[in-house]
């Protein structure tokens, strides 16, 4: 079965890596040195997540989460 997942991806300039998160899978997160590598790692992590869930009988969410990005103003010292 093919499923589609929304993946958040951002470049962490302090570490020089790309970081991904999958909101619908308990914010499963991976990283890679390039955007492509990070997405490949995410693909593999999603497959592993489903394999582990099946092995222990853990239910997996059937719906995708739609994250909302908001602008939050914060006064900082």
Give residue limits of the domains in the chain: 8-53
In terms of residues, how long is the chain? 77
Q: What is the pTM of this model?
A: 0.83
pLDDT for position 33: 98
Strand, helix or coil for residue 47: helix
Q: What is the pLDDT of residue 64?
A: 74
Neighbours of 7 (CB within 10 A): 18
Question: pLDDT digit of tens for each residue in the chain (77 aa)?
Answer: 888 899 999 999 999 999 999 999 999 999 999 999 999 999 999 999 999 999 999 988 776 778 888 999 999 99
**Cβ–Cβ < 8 Å for 17, 38:** yes
Q: How far is CA 18 from CA 21, 22, 23, 25, 35, in A?
A: 10, 14, 16, 19, 6
């Amino acid at each position: 079965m093919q499923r589609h997942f929304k993946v958040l991806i951002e470049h962490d300039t302090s570490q020089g890596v790309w970081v991904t998160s999958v909101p619908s899978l308990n914010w499963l997160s991976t990283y890679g040195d390039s955007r492509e590598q990070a997405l490949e790692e995410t693909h593999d992590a999603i497959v592993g997540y489903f394999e582990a869930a099946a092995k222990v009988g853990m239910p997996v969410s059937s719906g995708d989460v739609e994250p909302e990005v908001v602008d939050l103003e914060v006064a900082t010292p």
